[in-house]
Structure 1
Amino acid sequence: MGLKQLLLSGLLLSVIEPLCAAISIGSLPDSSMVPGGVAVVPTGTEANSGSYRDERILLADFDGEQYAIIGIPLNASIGTHQFALELADGRRELLQFSIEDKEYVEQHITITNERQVNPNADDMVRINRESAEMNRAFTSWDNSQTPVFGMRAPVQGVRSSSFGLKRFFNGQPRNPHSGMDIAADEGTPIYAPAPGVILTTGNYFFNGNTIILDHGHGLISLYCHMNTIDVVAGTVVDTGDQIGKVGQTGRVTGPHLHWSINLNNTRVDPALFLVD
């Protein structure tokens, strides 16, 4: 099953199933109301759906109370933010949370392949096509799965680069680092950190061999620079199932896994989900 079929299937599920947040979860992610963090906010009601910055947000029941679980972009401004709830009686309610400042440090990296820093025109055609495909995947919404927020590390290794670093390649500023890098020997097994469905796989210009794993309700994880991909789109995986092996494909300086977590189409700090 290809990406288009999977996304269409997810769209149909969203249309057919009721909007009510009927999921009950066993744990909450750590709440960290900073750029790149996660806001875990009790709603005080039973809303049908919610949105933040024009993106649908995850609503879930935990210990008898409903929570909005919201990914905060790295470029979010400091201060008060609002999100909207759609209630069962048709009313719309606005709630607030406050984002505090967090300073991310700089990281300077030397890349020997100049095209990986300044791609040519043909490269940009490919990059733009791949970016559009990944963005479509990140907006997938699967109501059929119950997301698990307590995740295992997908690979054993050294966390060689932390989320949110201000990155410079060959002295040129680039987007902040949107995931966690875990250094490990090439060929080290990579495991699913939580249950999900493989949304898509592919080889991308910057990310190399890549897997996108859908955990349900807008919680999606990304695995990059792999040596081998051991699953195909549509594969259902459980926690601990092997999905591939560590490699050094794409823009890298050595073998490692780039792992990112996406919540309401927003890249957030994976460390907030780790239980080990």
Structure 2
Amino acid sequence: MHWQRISLALAIALGGVLGSPKLSQPSQNSSQGTLRWNDASFPVENFQGYSSPFGYRRSPTGEPTTEFHNGLDFAAPEGSYIRNWWAGQVIEVSDDTACGTLVRIRSGAWEHVYCHMKGRVEQTPQGRAMVDRPGGVLILEGQRVPTGARIGRVGMTGRTTGPHLHWTLRHRGQLVNPAVVLQAMYGTQAQR
């Protein structure tokens, strides 16, 4: 991925967020090794830009209300592949919320959620799974997923006004602005 282009788009889209304090490196227990920012993967292929930042915003459906947006939206053409940010275990697949079809993954103290994906949840002989047959994707609850693996495709399921990936991050149960994480990733990876 071209980090310079992503960094510039991030700086333009998020303004003052880039001045926030740096996040510490994620960590896991010693049996799983150490997570480092430069080992992480950008979560969407065919990235076109950021369509909605983390934090309070006007309702995207045109209602005259303000709401809290708990993630960062990545615009990409419908059907673009979504990649797992960090190696971990799938702890939930769902398709019955405003988030649409989603996959939730735990990586040590981190949880990352991918929303509005193509596909649906089905009961398979192996257990509950997010299935996107045209995309060749089947993600099982409980499955281990490596960093950078394709885990789905950008869709328009749930509450959405256009194709995008909505990406939510939590560290030890607390919401984290994904833009700050991407900034830390870029800073580390640009030094390589």
The bucket for the TM-score relative to the shorter chain is 0.5 to 0.7
Confirm whether residue 242 of structure 1 aligns to residue 136 of structure 2.
no
Q: CA deviation at 1:208?
A: 0.2
Q: 1:256 to 1:147 in 2, by over 3 A?
A: farther
CA distance in 1, matches of 2:19, 2:146: 25
Confirm whether residue 148 of structure 1 aligns to residue 35 of structure 2.
yes
Confirm whether residue 271 of structure 1 aligns to residue 179 of structure 2.
yes
Q: Which residues of 2 match residues 128-143 of structure 1 at below 5 A?
A: none
Counterpart in the other structure of 1:86: none
Q: Which residues of 2 match residues 149-188 of structure 1 at below 5 A?
A: 149-150=36-37, 151-156=40-45, 157=47, 158-168=49-59, 169-188=61-80
CA distance in 1, matches of 2:99, 2:34: 25
Stretches of 4+ aligned residues off by more than 6 angstroms: none
Q: Give the counterpart letter for 2:177 in structure 1.
A: D
Counterpart in the other structure of 2:5: none
Q: Give the counterpart letter for 2:75 in structure 1.
A: A
Q: Is the 8 A contact 1:194 1:215 kept in 2?
A: yes
SS in 2 for 1:200: strand
Q: Which structure has the larger Rg over C-alpha atoms? A: 1
Q: 1:266 to 1:149 in 2, by over 3 A?
A: farther
CA distance in 1, matches of 2:146, 2:178: 18
Q: 1:194 to 1:251 in 2, by over 3 A?
A: same
CA distance in 2, matches of 1:39, 1:269: 10
- Is the deviation greater in 142-151 or in 193-202? 142-151
CA distance in 2, matches of 1:147, 1:32: 24
Q: CA deviation at 1:163?
A: 1.4
Q: Is the 8 A contact 2:56 2:66 kept in 1?
A: no
Give TM-score, length-normalised by structure 1.
Answer: 0.47
Q: Give the counterpart letter for 2:57 in structure 1.
A: K
Show CA shifts across 1:162-196 (max 9, x none): 11142324334243111110111111111111111
Larger RCO (alpha carbons 8 Å, 6+ apart): 2
Q: Give the counterpart letter for 1:148 in structure 2.
A: L
- Over the matched positions of the two proteins, sequence identity in percent amounts to 33
SS in 2 for 1:249: coil
CA distance in 1, matches of 2:92, 2:157: 17
Q: Which residues of 2 match residues 255-266 of structure 1 at below 5 A?
A: 255-266=163-174
Specify every segment of 5 or more residues in structure 2 that has no aligned partner in the other structure, as ranges: 1-17, 120-129, 131-137, 187-192
Q: Give the counterpart letter for 1:264 in structure 2.
A: R
Q: CA deviation at 1:145?
A: 4.4
Specify every segment of 5 or more residues in structure 1 that has no aligned partner in the other structure, as ranges: 1-29, 41-57, 62-141
CA distance in 2, matches of 1:143, 1:208: 35
Q: 1:235 to 1:198 in 2, by over 3 A?
A: same
Q: 1:149 to 1:257 in 2, by over 3 A?
A: farther
CA distance in 1, matches of 2:149, 2:64: 38
